[in-house]
């Protein structure tokens, strides 16, 4: 007789897909969020307004709705027929960009304005001051917030099962259907997510300790 345990490798394979969703979403979110934060802190009024609208939208709409809106609506309308994985990564990334912009903005605003002025008095241009003085501090201060974002996006990635991405939860549901045994598969999936949540957070904290600089305290 086939038991749930026979399906374990099948579920475990989903970890790679889950990590793909998380890694892709986090990186895209970083690539979007950091420039947005710079624009929000140092940009003109129009730029600030645009960033605010972007962050507001992606932080005020459920991921579920975004996934359906982009997968069935926006991407096809733009002429892209994306596979579920790519679409999910893009949506997770757009959304995380909204959240990450707020993490980086908070970090940036916690850096004293005097340092920026001091950089300018040395003859640095605006962009040199941002690049050499503001950003290195921002990134370190933002690490705890970033660890938090990892945990959030990891847990949200499970929602991508609605598009059929072959991540942990999708596979778990297939196993439930095949074995008609819901308890164990869901517990396995839950255990995997807990492991990934706390393991990943721990890892980021190690990086944080390694890059620690006296006087630069990170904030959630």
Partner 1 sequence: MSSDIVLKVEDLHKSYGNIPVLKGISFEVRRGETKIICGPSGSGKSTLLRCLNLITKPDKGRIWLEGEEITDRNVNINKVRQRIGFVFQEFNLFNHLTALRNVSIGLEVVKKMDKNEARRIALEMLRKVGLEEHAHKYPAELSGGQKQRVAIARALAMNPAIIFYDEPTSALDPQLIGEVLEVMKALAREKVTSIVVTHEMGFAQSVGDEILFMYDGKIIEQGPPLQIIQNPKCEQTRRFFQRIHELYARENK
Partner 2 sequence: MSFWEEFISYLIQGWITTLEILAVCIPLSILLGLGLAVARVYGNRLISLIAGGFVALLRGLPLVVTLLIVFFALPKLGIFFPPFWAAVIAFVMCSGAYQSEYVRGAIRSIDIGQSLAAQSLGMTKLQEVVHIILPQAFRRALPGITNEIIYLILYSSLAYLVGVQELFAVAKHFNSLQFRPIEIFSTTALIYAFMATIATLAFRKIEVKLRIPGLEIT
Q: Which residues bind partner 2 (CB under 8 A)?
A: 56-57, 59-66, 68-69, 72-74, 76-77, 154-159, 161-162, 169, 173, 176, 181-183, 186-187, 189-190, 193-194, 197-198
Angle between helices 183-210 and 143-157 (to 10 degrees): 160
Binding partner of 80, given partner 2, partner 1, none, CB within 5-8 angstroms per partner class: none
106 contacts which partner out of partner 2, partner 1, none, CB within 5 to 8 A by kind?
none
CA distance 14 to 17: 5
121 is a contact residue toward partner 1 (CB under 8 A): yes
Shortest CB 107 distance to partner 1, Å = 12
Say which entry of partner 1, partner 2, none residue 132 contacts (CB below 5 to 8 A, set by partner kind): partner 1
Determine, following the binding rule CB under 8 A, whether residue 123 of this chain makes contact with partner 1. Answer: yes
CA distance linking residue 94 with residue 193, whole number of Å: 23
Number of residues that bind partner 1 (CB under 8 A): 23
Task: Output 135 or 170, the one with its CB closest to partner 2.
Answer: 170
Q: Indicate left, alpha or beta for 181 from its phi (over 0: left) and psi (-120 to 50: alpha).
A: beta
Q: Which is nearer to partner 1, 3 or 126 (CB)?
A: 126
Minimum distance of partner 2 from residue 118's CB (angstroms) = 27
Q: Is 112 exposed, middle or buried (0-12, 13-18, 19+ CB in 10 A)?
A: exposed
Alpha-carbon distance of 212 to 91, in angstroms, equals 32
Query: Could you give the maximum distance between any two Cα atoms of the chain, in Å?
Result: 76
Which residues contact partner 1 by CB under 8 A?
A: 111-112, 114-115, 117-125, 128, 132-133, 136-137, 140, 213-216
């Amino acid at each position: 007789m086939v038991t749930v345990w026979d399906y374990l490798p099948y579920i475990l394979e989903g970890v790679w897909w889950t990590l793909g969703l998380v890694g892709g979403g986090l990186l895209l979110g970083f690539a979007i969020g950091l420039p947005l934060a710079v624009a929000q802190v140092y940009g003109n009024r129009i730029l600030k307004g645009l960033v605010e609208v972007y962050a507001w939208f992606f932080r005020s709409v459920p991921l579920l709705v975004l996934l359906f809106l982009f997968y069935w609506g926006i991407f096809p309308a733009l002429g892209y027929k994306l596979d579920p994985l790519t679409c999910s990564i893009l949506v997770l990334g757009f959304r995380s960009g909204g959240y990450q912009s707020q993490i980086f903005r908070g970090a940036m605003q916690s850096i004293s304005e005097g340092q920026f002025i001091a950089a300018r008095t040395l003859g640095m241009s605006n962009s040199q001051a941002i690049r050499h003085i503001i950003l290195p501090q921002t990134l370190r201060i933002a690490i705890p917030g970033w660890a938090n974002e990892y945990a959030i996006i990891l847990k949200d990635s499970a929602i991508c099962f609605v598009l059929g991405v072959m991540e942990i939860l999708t596979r778990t549901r297939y196993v439930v259907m095949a074995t008609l045994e819901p308890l164990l598969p869901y517990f396995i999936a839950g255990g995997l997510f807990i492991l990934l949540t706390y393991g990943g957070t721990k890892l980021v904290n190690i990086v944080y300790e390694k890059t620690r600089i006296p006087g630069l305290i990170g904030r959630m």
